[in-house]
Structure 1
């Protein structure tokens, strides 16, 4: 399988890359990023770094022909590019929408036009608060949550128009924590008890998303509890392809 990982230098994207390099069934990893990715000098046991190609883009909404050629023949994409709610509060909303929505839809359309394999699976990393029903007023950052929900709607509409070429699924995690006990883990504990926000580890969500693009989507959307369950199952299973 040829896998595209968009946002490969981010918190989730980095873990998706790490796990992908250890899977024999993934033969090529296109790590899409705005800056070069960094790999440890000593790769992990079982990791095949020779199948990694780091493709640099100036902007996730602009894909020159040289990048489109890298997309050709791909089987799936895990899209992790976004501006988080915390950062969004400090950035003009038009820019937040451009990055989170316009670039994402452009990315999917560009990959489709580049000659990816059929069906091409596109897994979009959204969030538990994203609201698809545009008539509602979410309690958490309404404008942002509605925009992320509308992005989900637009991606699903592109898939519906593709005649079966595209399969789109949305991952809607709660708080994403590190695998070890860190400040993120403390925040996850606080959010669960004060706001009933569930959490998933970065390894669980990454393993779950890789599993789903490799084998097909169990359901749409994938909620936090789905990501935890699928991720734990995938992490405990023998390496795919062995």
Structure 2
């Protein structure tokens, strides 16, 4: 399969990219982002694209793909709703609508977050905006759309978060996370599990369109 990864420099994106490059049934991976990943691999092609709300100049390069793993996400801390909407809803839909037009047989996997509100009525701003984004994606004419709502994720194999506060958190909890994940496998995931679950969603489909942590854990296992 041919795969596009958005946000491959973030924590989830790094993990997904690693699993894609290691998968024998993935023949090509194109990453799209403002900065290069710094990785080199025979399967990998990087598309550095500064304007993440406009793909007119690169649209033809993003046609003919089987899957898109959309891993771009920003924290809502310090943002007004208008700004967060621009960075979340507008940015995601700009890419997704273009991809749906160019790749109608594609499976699109979107990394949202635990607590996203599909009713769009939550008092918490980010939950409403994420829910609105999810709902808009589910209406697009892809072969399949899957929404992933992970909670805590353990970074593995050198994967690091770009957010400094998250890096501190993962550094402090590093000795505990493997134990906690073993005790709570349906609540705490790992970056390899996220990547494997996304690939399996493309390979085999998923039992539901919106997947919480327990669903992602189940989907990450070999078929």
Q: 1:204 aligns with which of 190, 193, 201?
A: 193
Structure 2 counterpart of 1:111: 99
Query: Distance in 2 between the 1:216 and 1:6 partners?
Result: 20
1:177-233, CA deviations, whole angstroms, 9 ceiling, x for partnerless residues?
Answer: 2237843547869x99xxxx93211111121112212332332111101112222x1
Structure 1 unaligned segments of length 5 or more: list them: 41-48, 238-242
Q: 1:120 aligns with which of 94, 103, 106?
A: 106
Query: Distance in 2 between the 1:169 and 1:205 partners?
Result: 13
- C-alpha displacement of 1:20: 0.7
Query: Distance in 1 between the 2:203 and 2:83 partners?
Result: 32
Query: Distance in 2 between the 1:174 and 1:4 partners?
Result: 23
User: Contact 1:212–1:218 at 8 Å: present in 2 too?
Assistant: no
User: Contact 2:2–2:27 at 8 Å: present in 1 too?
Assistant: yes
Query: Distance in 2 between the 1:70 and 1:184 partners?
Result: 41
Structure 1 counterpart of 2:48: 56
Query: Distance in 2 between the 1:50 and 1:30 partners?
Result: 11
Query: Distance in 1 between the 2:214 and 2:79 partners?
Result: 31
**CA distance change for structure 1 residues 183 and 144 in 2, over 3 Å: closer, same or farther?**
same
**Number of equivalent positions:** 206
Structure 1 counterpart of 2:149: 172
**CA distance change for structure 1 residues 188 and 153 in 2, over 3 Å: closer, same or farther?**
farther
Structure 2 unaligned segments of length 5 or more: list them: 158-169
Report SS of the residue matched to 2:135. Answer: helix
**CA distance change for structure 1 residues 64 and 187 in 2, over 3 Å: closer, same or farther?**
farther
Report SS of the residue matched to 1:213. Answer: helix
1:155 equivalenced with 2:132 (yes/no): no
CA RMSD, Structure 1 to Structure 2 (Å): 2.5
User: Contact 1:177–1:184 at 8 Å: present in 2 too?
Assistant: no
Structure index of larger Rg: 1
Report SS of the residue matched to 2:126. Answer: helix
Structure 2 counterpart of 1:93: 81
